């Protein structure tokens, strides 16, 4: 696969990815029985924590070495991986996407 730096496309796709992560978490937490009164808060907390790990805002250490995940995206029919030149900023979408997901 070929790597292609395109910050604008990447940013749009990471925003949608953040929303999809939160929606999946909300649905699974709901199925697990998290009370509706706590569902948004728990979804946001778990979503934010996972996002900071994915975008290297929270350190990820393997055998004493800090490892930095770098998120990429590819369209289904493409051999091109789109990146933004470094770690994502996925966590920045958590609360805005949560407001959209929960309707407030």
Looking at the chain, the whole-number percentage of residues with pLDDT higher than 70 is: 100
Establish how many alpha carbons lie within 13 A of residue 104's alpha carbon, considering only the half-sphere containing its beta carbon.
3
pLDDT tens digits, residue range 36-81? 999 999 999 999 999 999 998 888 899 999 998 999 999 888 899 9
Alpha carbon of residue 30 to chain centroid: 19
Model pLDDT, residue 77: 87
Q: Given pLDDT bands bounded at 50, 70 and 90, which one contains residue 93?
A: very high
Q: Given pLDDT bands bounded at 50, 70 and 90, which one contains residue 101?
A: very high
Rounded CA-CA distance 15/4 in Å is 18
């Amino acid at each position: 696969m070929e790597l292609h730096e395109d910050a604008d496309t990447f940013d749009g796709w990471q925003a949608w990815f953040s929303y999809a992560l939160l929606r999946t978490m909300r649905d699974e937490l709901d199925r697990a029985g998290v009370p509706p009164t706590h569902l948004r808060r728990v979804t946001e907390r778990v979503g934010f924590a996972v996002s900071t790990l994915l975008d290297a805002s929270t350190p990820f250490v393997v055998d004493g070495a800090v490892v930095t995940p770098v998120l990429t995206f590819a369209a289904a029919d493409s051999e091109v991986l789109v990146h933004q030149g470094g770690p994502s900023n996925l966590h920045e979408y958590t609360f805005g996407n949560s407001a959209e997901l929960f309707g407030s």
